[in-house]
Amino acid sequence: MRWRVRSRSGSASATPSAPAPPRAGTACSSRASRWRTGRSRRCRSTSTTATSARRSSTPRTPRATQASARSVADRALAAAVSRLGPAFASAHGATGLIPYVTAGYPSLEASLELLLAFDRLGARAVEVGIPFSDPIADGPDIQRAAEWALRARVGMVEALELVARLRARSQLPVVVMTYANPALRGGAEDFARRARAAGVDGVLISDLPPEESPEVWAALDREGLDTVTLVAPTTDDARLPRLLARARGFVYCLARTGVTGRGEGYAGVLPERVAALRRATTLPVAVGFGIADAMQARALRGVADAIVVGAAFMRAVAEDPARGVVERVGGLAAALVEALS
C-alpha cells in the first residue's frame, strides 16, 4: 500500500515549496543554449561518445552492492551531523529522558522555555511535535495540544523556526515528530532541507512505514537526518529486521498498542521485549507510549536507553495554560529524571 496524502491541512499556514534546483549538466544540455549556439548535434554526439567510452571501460557494479554502499554512506553522514549518537554514547548505558512538546502549545514562547528547561534538567534529547489536524497515533492530550496550536496558526514553518531558536541557545538533540501530510506537502527534499537548516537531528514520521515511499527516506538520508522507526508489540519477527535496517539514531519501542497517553499493564513483559530488541540492534532503544509517572519510569531504569514522555507533560500544561507552565512541567520532568538516576 502506498502512502496517500490526506485532504485536510495540518496547519493554517501552508509551507511554501522551495524552487526545484537547476538540473546539473553542460550548457549543451539546455534547450535554450542549443538554440543559441547551434551546436546541439555536435554536443550530443560528443556526449554519446564519452558516455559509451565510460560504459565500456567501467565495470558494472551490482545494484545490491550499490544500494549497500549508499546505506553505509547514509549512516556515516547521519553519524557525522546528528547529535543523537554522541548524546547516547556519553550516557554510558544510563537511562535518559526524552520529553515531548507540541510546538506552539500553549504558545511558541512557552514551548521554547519548556525545551530550555528540559535541557537544564539533563534530558537526553527532545521530541518536538508538528501540529496536525489528524494525529491518528496520539491520544486526547496531544490531540488537544495540536488543536490549540493550529488555532494559533502554528504549523510546519513555525515549528521549525522554534527548533532554530532552540538551536541558537542549546545543543540538545531534537527529533521532529510529524505525520506524512504536513511533512511532505511541499515535497520530501524541501522538508529535509528545511529540517536540517533549522538544526533538527532526527525525524519520526509516525504514519509512514519504512517499507513505503523510499524516496522520502532517501531525501532524509541525504541531509544526514536520523530516521527513527517505531517497533510495536505486534511487530513480527519477519518485519523486525526491515524496521531495524531503516532505523537511525535510536529505535522507538512502543510500550503498548493504541495511542499516546495513559496506559497500564505493559511493564511486566516490556523488559523482555526491550532486551530482545537490544540483542537485535546496536542502536539505543527508547520506550514510549503511556509512560506518565516516576513509578513507571523507575521500572524501566536500566532496561531501556531512554524513555519518551509526552502526554503527561501536555496534561500538565492543560491544567492552566496561562500560568505556571514551566514550573509544573519542569517539576514532573525533574521527578522523572530522579527516578531514572
Question: Cα dist. 129→10, 47, 80, 154, 174 in Å?
Answer: 12, 49, 24, 11, 10
Over the Cα atoms of the chain, what is R_g? 23
What residues act catalytically? 127, 138
Q: What distance in Å separates the CA atoms of residue 206 and residue 130, rounded to the nearest whole number?
A: 11
The residues with which 204 forms a beta bridge, in sequence order, are: 177
Q: What distance in Å separates the CA atoms of residue 259 and residue 266, rounded to the nearest whole number?
A: 14
Contacts of 179 (CB under 8 A, 6+ apart): 10, 130, 132, 134, 135, 136, 137, 205, 206, 207, 208
Contacts of 120 (CB under 8 A, 6+ apart): none
Do residues 34 and 28 touch, judged by C-beta distance below 8 A? yes
Do residues 306 and 124 touch, judged by C-beta distance below 8 A? yes
Do residues 177 and 129 touch, judged by C-beta distance below 8 A? yes
Q: What share of the chain is helix, strand, coil (3-state, %, to 5)?
A: 50, 10, 40
Do residues 192 and 222 touch, judged by C-beta distance below 8 A? yes
Tell how far CA 159 is from the center of its chain. 13
Show the DSSP H helices in 98-200 as ranges.
Answer: 108-121, 140-151, 156-167, 180-184, 188-198
